[in-house]
A and B are shown apart, each in its own frame.
Chain A
Amino acid sequence: MANYVEMWKELGMDLENHDNLCAVLPVAYGDVYLSQENRPEGMAFWDMVVADIHGIRPAELIEAQKNGQKVFGTFCVYVPDEVVIAANGIVTGLCGGSQFWVPDGEAVLPKGTCPLIKASVGARLGKTCPFFRIADMYVGETTCDGKKKAWEILGTDVPMHVMDIPQMKREKDIVKWTEEIKDFAAIVEKVTGKEITAESLEAAIKLINEKRKAMARVYEARKAENIPISGKDALLMSQIAFFDDPARCAMMCNKLADELEQRIADGVSVFPAGTKRIMLTGTPMAIPNWKLHHIIETSGAAVVCEETCTGTRYFEGQVEEGKATLDEQYRAIAERYMGINCACFTPNSGRVDDIIRLAKEYKVDGVIDVNLKFCCLYDTEGYTVEAALKEAGIPVLGIETDYADEDSEQLKTRIEAFIEMLG
């Protein structure tokens, strides 16, 4: 990775500390990913991306910036990529998924903040992630309290636009969200210097729809009796989708889906027949958070679906295409995004319906509801989720954890016991 050192230097990164991260990541990836057997060949692309995660894509983004494009860093699947792309901008996800960044976040945030927020703030302030350095503008949202306040702190260090997300889903909230998207579009136009037209927006809508459909195809394959891909690999695909070029992402996901469909036809599975099928529900798992998947899949079960923002919440539902005017397009975008069922909304019975539906579609034997520590929203909603699953006769295990490894043994015991319980 030596050839990227100059680039990192120019980005003003803390090289010494960054070296520590570069030293541990390949080891972790080797243990968690490369140790798996019979992986789909298509995963080679993602292996390559991870091997140079702070090199290849950041270099592409910098190249694009040299050609006048702007990069927007986002933290939530509610922020519509379409708008940025229609103005010739680029979106990159910025959620931190490693304990490595947590201490730098704790330097400014209360310890009782969720690790996703701490890691995201830490990755910026600690100067140890190129993506956080590259973004010309951050786009925050008013989802949970921790994030809202974190934006104020990050906003002192980097240009920040915050979108005001409604907390309910009534018609007037959808109208409001449409307005928010329009305001966002105006900001994006100002930053990129490019006007959004009905044509450019339509093209962007199609592009992102294609990406979502491609991801959905990979997930569709996981519904098969013979599970053609491990949960870990599918999770990685979702995680990288936040960073990659959307057209390439769609192409790679489609290629992977082709292979998985072939595997299903050939009866090839990465798990022995009868392996218990688990669905994860709850908080997002930002890269490189593979903790739960790894524990589950080394305890004799398979993860077949993630009802998370690094899973189904990211790609389900499309923006309606073929609208004639910008106003109609913005409304269509708002409707698609307001269909995401995040715990920051109330009431949020749509999420419970999704979970029950997904549990059936993916024929799961059990659900593990996992919440990041100090995420009050998902933790509280866990009560409703667990009650609904029990009511539906689907076994469920609730888990609260963070990025640190200290509780791995405990979690392993609980997860193994849960799998034993499934029979």
Chain B
Amino acid sequence: MNYIGIDIGSTCAKVVVLDEQKNVCLEMVQPTGWSSVDTAEEIKKKLLAEGIDPDASPCVATGYGRVSVPYANKMITEITCHAMGALKINHSQDALVIDIGGQDTKIIRIEEGMVKDFIMNDKCSAGTGRFLEVMANSMGMRPDELCTLAETGGGVTISSMCTVFAESEVISLIGRGEPKENIAFAVVDSIVSKVASQASRLHEKGEAVCLTGGLCDCEYVCKALEKKLQSQVITSPQARYAGALGAALAAAKIKL
């Protein structure tokens, strides 16, 4: 028996499959694209190609596209799934999880294996992956390139929290001939500042946090966040799959 977790986020769809012993036996990621229904179909095909039949295996869908997975046995929100995934990755029962997602950022407080509290940003893409994407786009580079470049820059800040205004700030900085690395620095600084201020309602000074979501691949973002929070930021390559992993763990509890 395999257990399937599917996390359809705004930018990427992540899939984690567990074996009987709840060990990860498959991880996949793909862009969500325009339609989460199509994405779910594609995922199904890929799973079948791997010899896993999603119709015959317990499957939990999460993420904002969770309603679009017809073969899922259950839907669970990304808050709960990220929390469960993060616990598994960190081999712990207590954690403060920061998930920087494509269109929202979540701060989740977990105690004794249970979600105790959480914060999710409102209709605003400041401090999310979307913000990074838009800024990278207007600078003509990939988001990961921007993050790497940011490490070598400094001295500039973006004052606007609104993505639209911030974009015009970036464009005028480019126009003024500001070196790209300084602008990149300002973009990352803006994101981590926003995330840190959001986290401040739940984060206790000095407490280590677990970072999940797409941005955790980027070393400099983790470093910058550590500096802002004045706390250790723990992450791992698996952390971007935390939502899907949590969903797969929930699937393992389903009896078909």
A and B physically associate? yes
Question: Are A407's CB and B114's CB within 8 A?
Answer: no
Residues of A within 8 A of B104 (CB): 410
In the assembled complex, A28 has its CB within 8 A of some CB on chain B: no
State the 10 A-B residue pairs at the shortest beta-carbon distance, nearest first: A417-B79, A417-B77, A421-B115, A420-B80, A416-B77, A407-B123, A413-B77, A414-B120, A417-B80, A420-B77
Question: Are A413's CB and B123's CB within 8 A?
Answer: no
Q: A406-B123, A410-B104 are in contact. Are A421 and B116 (CB under 8 A)?
A: yes
Binary CB contact string for chain A from 153 to 174 against chain B (1 if under 8 A, 0 otherwise) = 0000000000000000000000
* B contact set with A: CB distance below 8 Å: 64, 76-80, 104, 114-118, 120, 122-123
Interface residue from A390, A410, A420 paired with B122 (Cβ < 8 Å): A410
Interface residue from B116, B117, B120 paired with A413 (Cβ < 8 Å): B120
Q: Which A386-416 residues have C-beta < 8 A from chain B?
A: 390, 395, 400, 406-407, 409-410, 413-414, 416
Q: How far, in whole Å, are A418 and B104 apart by their CA atoms in the complex?
A: 16
Q: A413-B64, A421-B114, A421-B116 are in contact. Are A407 and B122 (CB under 8 A)?
A: yes
Q: How far, in whole Å, are A137 and B117 apart by their CA atoms in the complex?
A: 47
Min distance, Cβ A400 to any Cβ of chain B, angstroms: 7
Q: How far, in whole Å, are A407 and B103 apart by their CA atoms in the complex?
A: 13
Min distance, Cβ B219 to any Cβ of chain A, angstroms: 29
Q: How many residues of A contact B (CB 8 A)?
A: 15
Q: How far, in whole Å, are A400 and B120 apart by their CA atoms in the complex?
A: 11
Min distance, Cβ B93 to any Cβ of chain A, angstroms: 16
Min distance, Cβ A205 to any Cβ of chain B, angstroms: 44
Residues of B within 8 A of A421 (CB): 79-80, 114-118
11 CB contacts below 8 A, A to B, read: A395-B116, A410-B122, A410-B123, A413-B77, A417-B79, A417-B115, A420-B77, A420-B79, A420-B80, A421-B114, A421-B117
Q: How far, in whole Å, are A420 and B116 apart by their CA atoms in the complex?
A: 11
Q: Which A110-146 residues have C-beta < 8 A from chain B?
A: none
Min distance, Cβ A368 to any Cβ of chain B, angstroms: 13
Min distance, Cβ B209 to any Cβ of chain A, angstroms: 19
Residues of B within 8 A of A410 (CB): 104, 120, 122-123
The residue of chain B having its C-beta at the shortest distance from the C-beta of A398 within the complex is B119
Q: How far, in whole Å, are A416 and B120 apart by their CA atoms in the complex?
A: 13
Min distance, Cβ B77 to any Cβ of chain A, angstroms: 4
The residue of chain A having its C-beta at the shortest distance from the C-beta of B115 within the complex is A421
Residues of B within 8 A of A414 (CB): 79, 118, 120
Residue from B76, B77, B104, B114 whose CB has the most chain A CB atoms within 10 Å: B77
Q: How far, in whole Å, are A409 and B123 apart by their CA atoms in the complex?
A: 10
Residues of A within 8 A of B122 (CB): 400, 407, 410
The residue of chain B having its C-beta at the shortest distance from the C-beta of A396 within the complex is B117
Residues of A within 8 A of B116 (CB): 395, 421
Min distance, Cβ A300 to any Cβ of chain B, angstroms: 11
Residues of B within 8 A of A409 (CB): 64
Min distance, Cβ B42 to any Cβ of chain A, angstroms: 22
The residue of chain B having its C-beta at the shortest distance from the C-beta of A407 within the complex is B123
Q: How far, in whole Å, are A410 and B121 apart by their CA atoms in the complex?
A: 9
Q: How far, in whole Å, are A417 and B123 apart by their CA atoms in the complex?
A: 17
Given A413-B78, A413-B79, A414-B79, 7 new contacts (CB under 8 A): A413-B77, A414-B118, A414-B120, A417-B118, A420-B80, A421-B116, A423-B114
